[in-house]
Copies of this chain bind each other. A is one copy, B any other.
Amino acid sequence: MVKVITVSREFGSGGRELAKRLADALKYSYIDKEIVTALSKETDLSEEYLHKKLEKGVPVTYGRSFSNISSSRDDALLLAKQHKIIKEIAAEENCVIVGRGADSVLSHLSPFRIFVYADLPSKIERCRERADYGEDLSDKKIEKKIKEIDKARKKTHDLYSVYEWGDKVGYDLCINTSGLVIEEIIPQLADYIKKWFEGVSL
């Protein structure tokens, strides 16, 4: 059976970097753009639009107002299509997938499920390092963005998952990256996961 690692993460915790480096270290595929590309082909929506929409979290709502119902249906349909694509791509080879509810969507493959988190100062610092030159970077603005994105991620994730986004019970390892240079712990983390795939009695 293929080995799959899913990485869920708080915004600014360095989860994406961790996932990419982990994929490199383990020589697994890092699955990201392929999903949007395939989804774009299926839906005739542009990759740019899909990227923005899915990155933000899809704001599916139920019955709050009639005007929202059709767009909610569209959103739910979009998520369903994404899930199907994730299943197809993940079945092909050992891979690492960030976000997109993959921990829940791929549960049939018994993935190693990571959750990456950090304290607020660390997350603000990481966001600042990644920002564009000249971008408004007050702590308050960054904090607001972190909260908004994580809230959307949780909402989308929890629509489908038995476990709540970020609740440790739904993950095999929760990693606090506060003050950590992520690159430094990748070899040890990769070894841990290799051992886990060998040792866990499923």
User: Which residues of A are interface residues toward B (Cβ below 8 A)?
Assistant: 115, 117, 119, 166, 168-169, 171-176, 178-181, 184-185, 187-189, 191-192, 194-196, 198-202
Question: CB distance B199 to A181 under 8 Å?
Answer: yes
A191 CB to nearest chain B CB (Å): 4
Question: CB distance A199 to B174 under 8 Å?
Answer: no
A11 CB to nearest chain B CB (Å): 15
Question: CB distance A179 to B201 under 8 Å?
Answer: yes
Give every chain B residue within 8 A of A189 (Cβ-Cβ). 192
Question: CB distance A180 to B200 under 8 Å?
Answer: yes
Report the separation of the CA atoms of residues A179 and B202 in the bound assembly, to the nearest whole angstrom. Answer: 7
Report the separation of the CA atoms of residues A173 and B180 in the bound assembly, to the nearest whole angstrom. Answer: 12
Using CB atoms, name the residue of chain B closest to A171.
B176
Consensus secondary structure, chain A interface: mixed
Choose among B166, B176, B199 the residue that contacts A180 (Cβ–Cβ < 8 A).
B199
Give every chain B residue within 8 A of A171 (Cβ-Cβ). 174, 176
A18 CB to nearest chain B CB (Å): 13
Give every chain B residue within 8 A of A184 (Cβ-Cβ). 195, 198-199
Report the separation of the CA atoms of residues A187 and B168 in the bound assembly, to the nearest whole angstrom. Answer: 23
Report the separation of the CA atoms of residues A171 and B117 in the bound assembly, to the nearest whole angstrom. Answer: 10
Give every chain B residue within 8 A of A191 (Cβ-Cβ). 187-188, 191
Using CB atoms, name the residue of chain B closest to A122.
B201
Report the separation of the CA atoms of residues A189 and B194 in the bound assembly, to the nearest whole angstrom. Answer: 12
Apart from A180-B200, A184-B199: 18 A-B pairs, beta carbons within 8 A: A115-B168, A119-B169, A166-B168, A168-B168, A171-B174, A171-B176, A172-B178, A173-B176, A179-B201, A180-B196, A181-B201, A184-B198, A185-B192, A187-B191, A188-B188, A188-B191, A188-B195, A189-B192
A184 CB to nearest chain B CB (Å): 4
A111 CB to nearest chain B CB (Å): 13
